[in-house]
């Protein structure tokens, strides 16, 4: 039934991608079950925060290349293709959790981007192996003054927030530590990014006020929450409803809506220095931003709730029926496929006959005599097959 559904009823992947105007299969996958308004928000999040993936292949034709823009920080840092997944996943995770609470059937839906969302991924996130996953969050190590200025508090590198991305998204991203805290959120503190430090569970934290030459402070992931609390206590927390902060980060409304060179602003890269908005028109004045300023207590509660949910996640494959798994594990296989019991019995009998003949021949001198386990080894799944199919054993006895 499922096959019939997918093959006959459901749009083909490519077709659906064209329909949805999404170039990313993952994004299309997400939209499959997010068509109740949430999908709109998600789509908005994708289109506004991840420019390269925002348009379909047709739309991309207007640009010079369909490939994501590459960051050119400095010579000693390899260029990394931009990927919208981490931030998007962070946003999505928070959104989906709410959806799952509302709709139990989502349990049957495979989790999106499990790898990125898996708890263990955080351990690797700070390592080099996974750094490209967060390419959009990398900050330049260049000595370019302009880029350095981008890293400072006065000219923050900010993550433009998608219309419809609510506070939950924000706290989710904050809790994961992959969304910039700079600019729109924490203009005085600098951007938090995954560091190049290979130590697990640590993130680099750029602090414009730091005495460190790089202005970078390394925090444990567990410290992020503490940092959040600290900032709340200092009254420095700003939501993205704060128009002042957003002005510095994103004052060009048209640019926001177009998605335009969002990545340029985010990364301060893409080969050329980011273009600072020429006007002071705040995009937050747009009616699409309907946000509520939360109190420190509410914010803390949301973050705590998110972290709690995250920790309670089960990212491993869900086995609905353990008995079926046991059976499947013990079921005989032929080239990976389940084999009939009769076929196995016949094959075993045949093997046993050959074994008997071969044993008579090779066993004369005691050499080259095959052990019964060698024959059994040719039958996939035979190791666990003795629970029921005793015929194979009996045939040798």
Within 10 angstroms of residue 204's Cβ, the number of other Cβ atoms is 23
Alpha-carbon distance values, 100 to 108, 109, 187 (Å) = 10, 10, 34
Separation CA 331–CA 338 (nearest Å) = 7
Nearer to DNA among residue 328 and residue 364 (C-beta): 328
For residues 53 and 27, is the Cβ–Cβ distance under 8 A? yes
Kindly tell me which of 135 and 177 has the beta carbon lying closer to DNA. 135
Nearer to DNA, 119 or 338 (CB): 338
- CB distance 218 to 203 below 8 Å: yes
Distance between CA atoms of residues 267 and 80, nearest Å: 11
Q: Which residues, 6 or more positions from 192, have their beta carbon under 8 angstroms from its beta carbon?
A: 177, 178, 179, 180, 181, 182, 203, 204, 205, 206, 219, 224
CB of 43 to DNA, least distance (A): 20
Written as one string, the DSSP assignment of 335-360 is TTEE--HHHHHHHHHHHHHHHHHHHH
The footprint of DNA (CB under 7 A) covers: 1-3, 6-7, 13, 108, 317-321, 323-325, 327-329, 331, 333, 335-342, 380
CB of 6 to DNA, least distance (A): 6
Q: Across 79-215, where does the E strand assignment appear?
A: 192-193, 202-206
Rounded to a whole number of angstroms, the minimum distance from the CB of residue 120 to DNA is: 16
Between 1 and 292, CB nearer to DNA: 1
> Which residue carries 């002071």 as its tokens?
280
* Least distance to DNA, CB of residue 71, Å: 16
Q: From the CB of 78, what's the least distance to DNA, in Å? A: 10
**Minimum separation from the CB atom of position 386 to DNA (A):** 14
Q: In the complex with DNA, which residue's Cβ is closer, 290 or 388?
A: 388
Rounded Cα distance between 51 and 159, Å, is: 12
- DSSP letter, residue 333: E
Residue closer to DNA by CB (options 37, 336) is: 336
């Amino acid at each position: 039934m499922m096959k019939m559904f997918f093959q006959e009823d459901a749009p083909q992947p490519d077709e659906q991608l064209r329909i949805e105007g999404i170039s990313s299969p993952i994004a299309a996958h997400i939209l499959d079950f997010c068509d109740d308004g949430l999908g709109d928000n998600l789509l908005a999040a994708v289109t506004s925060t991840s420019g390269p993936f925002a348009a379909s292949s047709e739309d991309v034709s207007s640009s010079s290349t369909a490939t994501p823009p590459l960051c050119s920080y400095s010579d000693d840092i390899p260029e990394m293709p931009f990927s919208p997944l981490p931030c998007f996943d962070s946003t999505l995770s928070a959104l989906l959790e709410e959806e799952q609470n509302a709709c139990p059937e989502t349990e049957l839906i495979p989790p999106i981007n499990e790898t990125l969302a898996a708890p263990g991924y955080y351990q690797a996130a700070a390592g080099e192996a996974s750094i490209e996953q967060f390419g959009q969050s990398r900050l330049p190590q260049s000595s370019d003054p302009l880029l350095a200025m981008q890293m400072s508090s006065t000219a923050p590198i900010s993550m433009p927030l998608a219309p419809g991305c609510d506070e939950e998204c924000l706290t989710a991203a904050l809790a994961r530590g992959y969304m910039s805290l700079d600019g729109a959120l924490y203009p005085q503190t600098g951007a938090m990014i995954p560091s190049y430090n290979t130590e697990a569970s640590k993130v680099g934290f750029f602090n414009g006020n730091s005495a460190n030459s790089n202005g970078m402070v390394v925090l444990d992931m567990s410290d992020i929450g503490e940092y959040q609390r600290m900032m709340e206590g200092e009254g420095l927390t700003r939501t993205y409803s704060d128009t002042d902060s957003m002005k510095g980060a994103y004052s060009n409304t048209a640019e926001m809506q177009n998605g335009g060179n969002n990545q340029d602003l985010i990364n301060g890269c893409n080969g050329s220095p980011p273009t600072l908005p020429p006007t002071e028109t705040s995009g937050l004045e747009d009616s699409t931003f309907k946000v509520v300023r939360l109190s420190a207590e509410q914010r803390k509660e949301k973050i705590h709730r998110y972290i709690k949910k995250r920790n309670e996640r089960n990212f491993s494959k869900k086995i609905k029926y353990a008995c079926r798994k046991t059976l499947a594990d013990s079921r005989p296989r032929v080239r990976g496929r389940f084999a009939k019991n009769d076929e196995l019995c016949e094959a075993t009998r045949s093997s046993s006959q050959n074994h008997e003949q071969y044993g008579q021949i090779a066993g004369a001198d005691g050499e080259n005599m095959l052990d019964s386990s060698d024959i059994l080894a040719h039958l996939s799944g035979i190791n666990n097959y003795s629970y029921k199919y005793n015929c194979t054993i009996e045939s040798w006895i």
